[in-house]
Chains A and B, each alone.
Chain A
Amino acid sequence: MKKILAISILLFIGLTVLAGYLFPQELSPILSLIIDWGILLIGTAVLIGIGYLIKRHISLISQREKQNFLSIILLLAFISTIILGLIFSFNHPVFTDLMINVQYPVETSLLAILAVVLLTASFRLISTRGWTPMSIAFLCSAVITLGLDAGSIYLGSGGAGDVILNFLRRLPLVGARGILLGMGLGGLIVGLRVLLTIEKPYGE
């Protein structure tokens, strides 16, 4: 019974949204309702995710796992952020400054580490992958693109040089579009399989 109900809801929602593209005027109230429900569910899912996070770190602390002091720091930061957010509203400058001066630099630092990691990985490209056509093509394409973006390669404006440079700039996009076409096809098939209940990736 549970399965039938889930599948029925899935079919109704999916087909309604699909039909909404064909008949927007006739179905706009239902579509608005469905979008509202979807937003509510997504917000609830975020809360569920946060609940999982808290539960996980509490279990790490209680089981005295390795480096559980990091979990203690996380829980303390979480609790203090909640308290500050409740005391000062979301729009309060104290709360806003806390976010801007703590969260943003942390995320930016992660990106900085990413830059170093990518640099190290680029050095190991051939030793990891070997001299294959794919790795050689990747190497050449990356070096040329980096040179173009850095402005190190400049053949003057107008004329054949400009045409060649534009061609080289656009060439990687061709491969990327090919990949995207394939991803689109694959996504279409996966979506149809779920809609037609041939596949139930969410479990039985």
Chain B
Amino acid sequence: MTEKITCPECGAENLEDAEFCIVCHAQLREDSTLAFVDPQQSDQDGFDLLNGEEDDLPGLLHALKQEDEAETAEDKSQENELPSITPEDEFGKEDIQEDEGIPGWLDRVRQRATEEEDSTGEITQKISAAKESLKGDKRSTQHENFETWIQKLRGPIGGGFDRDPEAGDSSDELEEEQEEVQEKESEWLQKIRKAEGKQNVTEDQRILDHGENGLLNWLVALEDGEEDRSGEQGEFDIKTEEDQESDEVKIDESAATQEIPVDERPLSVRIPPKLSVTDEDRSQADQLSSMILDENAPRPVRVIKRRSKLGAARFFFAVLLILSMSLSLFIGEAVVNQSGPIQPHTDGFLSWIKDLEEGAGILLIFDYQPAYSSEINLIASPILIDLVSRESDLNLLSSSMSGPILQRQLIGDIPGLDTDSITDLGYFPIGAYGAFGLGMGISADWQIVGLPESARAFPDGGFDSILILSDTYGGARAWIEQLTVLMPDTPINLVVTAQAMPMLVPYFDSGQIIGMVSGLNDGVILETELSTGVMIGMRRRAYQGGLVILAAVMVIGAINAGNQNGEEGGAA
């Protein structure tokens, strides 16, 4: 018993000396050079090869037969003597030997064919016609024709072909025909050969013959119900002579054709389609296979070191900050006098408030979040105390959701303030809308008929000054840009947080605002200049301590990062 090799791809058994798998054409050896033929391309080629007349193999056989008939016109009369074969005869029960291996569907098809006249399809009709012609009296002529056909298929290669000795004296004719066939090789056949790499190899021709003979045998066997389709992948059934003999095809001994010799060479000799694998495909395949292998590998638990380091650092800095700022609040005397020059915008604000007339109408716009209320309240308290002392008429407007409550918190801390003298203008979401509506105090000549009036209208204006309390650059800017265009004659001042101040300085430089105070630095200046008694100095000292710690930590962090990089570089 010959040893067999199992294909690594599909698991099919192959002969020992086979190089490629009989089923899937995978390589059985280690040679990696494979030429791959794109199946789509080959399909297209296949479609290109066949024209309308020859769209299937039986049709092709029939067409070739008709060509032979045209060439040998003198033999036409002999063909008329061939018995006509009816579908009933073809599928006659006497011709069919019962076989347990016949598929059920085939049996039903045959049964139907015997019952219906037009049940056989085109292919079957053509096959039957071909078979009919094969079984004709003019065996030699048919044989010659068939051989001619085979020679045509072989084409210019002129591969070996075992002639049946019964073929007779037509060797010279055959040679001539072969030459003709070589000249007139069908284009489609050339393409097939080219696609399958069979162009220039003598051995290929045998394989081709083998395969083609196998195809014909398969077609014949199909009609006689003895085709075995198992394990096919577009392959032809390879049948040895022994298999053919065991087929249940009954061939009339008196027919012109004879048993078709079969090439017994193993399939391994056939050149399989070439598969080209690029480096990228190979690397991807390797990666995929390594991923699959690695999928179930145990992995160590990922140690999260950063978390503990970050947590510890955060705790340390929090303690440092809280301790240092708390100590600076409670230790030492309160610093009243500010250090450093007064900024121009602060000077402008001070000038405005000192020059403000008594009883002036001031619009206070609250545009900050509760988180910044401590800072804003600290800075705004001395201003409000001074305004109250001048008996200014205060109008409150809010553009933040917590505005009304912030107003109460701020005003509640002002001593001597009569809340009845305060006018609450309400809440207007989105500062720009409120500012736009405030500035658009223009009455048109026409009105929209039927519209209800708003319960709360925008203020009509008529303010001596506007004071905007804001925590962000964006909020203050929205009000400034709307009001300076729509109410250019009304002076605007800002009370903002330290983070918003730098981006608002250009508005002071351009004259759009009169003055601005921001942060605890300016708060201390106000405390000094206005003498309102609000103690901002101690808080400013804590604020300064925090800033110094922040700057120091940044520098230490940079030095530490540099040292770490140096250690890593040294270790490397």
A residues within 8 Å of B by Cβ?
A: 24-33, 35-36, 38-39, 42-43, 46, 90-91, 96, 99-100, 103-104, 107-108, 110-111, 115-120, 122-127, 131, 139, 142-143, 146-147, 149-152, 154, 157, 162, 170, 172-173, 176-177, 180
Q: How far is the CB of A157 from chain B (nearest CB, A)?
A: 5
B558 and A111 form a contact (CB under 8 A): no
26 A-B pairs in the complex with CB atoms less than 8 angstroms apart: A26-B444, A33-B448, A35-B436, A36-B454, A38-B433, A42-B430, A43-B429, A104-B370, A110-B371, A115-B546, A119-B550, A120-B310, A122-B550, A122-B557, A123-B313, A123-B317, A123-B554, A123-B557, A124-B313, A126-B561, A131-B562, A131-B565, A139-B554, A142-B551, A147-B547, A152-B544
Known: A36-B454, A100-B409, A116-B314. A149 touches B521 (CB 8 A): yes
The answer to whether B283 has its CB under 8 Å from any CB of chain A is no
Give residues of chain B (526-565) contacting chain A, Cβ–Cβ below 8 Å.
Answer: 543-544, 546-551, 553-558, 560-562, 564-565
Minimum-distance CB pairs A-B, first 9: A123-B557, A126-B561, A107-B371, A150-B547, A146-B551, A127-B561, A150-B544, A122-B554, A116-B318
- The complex places the Cα of A126 from the Cα of B408 at a distance, in Å, of 45
Q: Given the complex of chains A and B, what is the CA–CA distance between A8 and B529 in angstroms?
A: 57
| Contact A125 B405, CB 8 Å, known A28-B442, A146-B547 | no
CB of A32 within 8 A of CB of B548, answer no
What residues of A have a CB within 8 angstroms of the CB of B519 in the complex?
149
Instruction: Establish whether residues A127 and B314, one from each chain, have CB atoms under 8 Å apart when the complex forms.
Output: no
| Min C-beta distance of A179 to chain B, whole Å | 10
Q: In the complex, A26 Cα to B317 Cα: how many Å?
A: 60
Q: A residues within 8 A CB of B551?
A: 142-143, 146-147, 150
Enumerate chain B residues within 8 angstroms of A150, measured Cβ to Cβ.
Answer: 543-544, 547-548, 551
Decide if B339 is an interface residue (CB 8 Å cutoff): yes
Give the docked Cα–Cα distance between A36 and B553 (Å): 50
Q: Known contacts A33-B451, A42-B430, A154-B339: does B404 contact A90 (CB below 8 Å)?
A: yes
The digit string for B306-320, where 1 denotes a CB below 8 A from any CB of A, is 000010011001100
The residue from B321, B401, B498, B506 contacting A119, defined by CB atoms under 8 A apart: B321
Over the window 426-457 of chain B, the binary record of Cβ atoms lying under 8 Å from chain A Cβ atoms (1 yes, 0 no) is 00111001001100101111111001001000
CA distance A30 to B445 in the complex (A): 12
**Pick the contact of B503 from A38, A42, A176 — CB < 8 Å?**
A176
- Specify which chain A residues have a CB less than 8 angstroms from the CB of B373 in the assembled complex: 104, 108
Task: Give the complex CA separation of A103 and B318 in angstroms.
Answer: 23
- Contact residues in B for A26 (Cβ distance below 8 Å): 444
Please report which residues of chain B, range 356-387, place their CB below 8 angstroms from some CB of chain A when the two chains form the complex.
369-374
Pairwise interchain contact B557-A126, C-beta atoms closer than 8 A: yes
Q: A123-B556, A151-B340 are in contact. Are A103 and B402 (CB under 8 A)?
A: yes
List the A side residues contacting B285 at CB < 8 Å: none
Residue pair B554, A125 in contact (C-beta under 8 Å): yes
Q: Given A39-B430, A42-B429, A176-B502, 8 more contacts at CB 8 Å?
A: A28-B442, A91-B404, A108-B370, A116-B317, A125-B558, A150-B547, A151-B521, A173-B503
Number of A-B contacts (CB under 8 A): 154
In contact, A31 and B506 (Cβ under 8 angstroms): no
Q: In the complex, what distance in Å separates the CA atom of A149 from the CA atom of B437?
A: 37
Judge whether B416 is part of the interface by a CB distance below 8 angstroms: no
Tell whether B327 is near chain A: CB-to-CB under 8 Å: no
For residue B414, CB closer than 8 A to chain A, the reply is no
- Hey, which chain A residues are within 8 Å of B553, CB to CB? 119, 122-123
Instruction: Give the dominant DSSP class at A's interface.
Output: helix
CB distance from B492 to the nearest CB of A (A): 20
Contact status B437-A162, CB under 8 Å = no
B201 at the interface (CB under 8 A from A): no
In the bound complex, residues from chain B placing their C-beta under 8 Å from that of A99 are 402, 405
Knowing A39-B428, A108-B374, A151-B340, the reply to whether A119 touches B555 (Cβ < 8 A) is no
Say whether A108 contacts B506, CB under 8 Å: no
Collect the chain B residues with CB atoms within 8 Å of residue A157's CB: 341
Is B85 part of the contact surface with A, judged by Cβ < 8 Å?
no
Q: What is the minimal beta-carbon distance from B53 to any residue of chain A, in angstroms?
A: 53
Residue on B nearest A93 in the bound complex, by CB: B408
Q: A25 CA to B486 CA in the complex, in Å?
A: 12
Q: Contacts of B372 on A, CB cut-off 8 Å? A: 111
* Beta-carbon nearest neighbor of A110 in chain B: B371
Q: Is B123 an interface residue (CB 8 A)?
A: no
- CB neighbours of A126 from chain B (8 A): 557-558, 561-562
Chain A residue at minimum C-beta to C-beta distance from B317: A119
B505 on interface, CB distance cutoff 8 Å: yes
* B554 pairs with A142, CB closer than 8 A: yes
**How many angstroms from the CA of A123 to the CA of B553 in the assembled complex?**
6
Residue of B nearest to A147 (CB): B551
A100 touches B444 (CB 8 A): no
Q: Which residues of B contact A43 (CB under 8 A)?
A: 429
C-alpha spacing A118/B448, complex, angstroms: 54
B51 → chain A closest CB, angstroms? 49
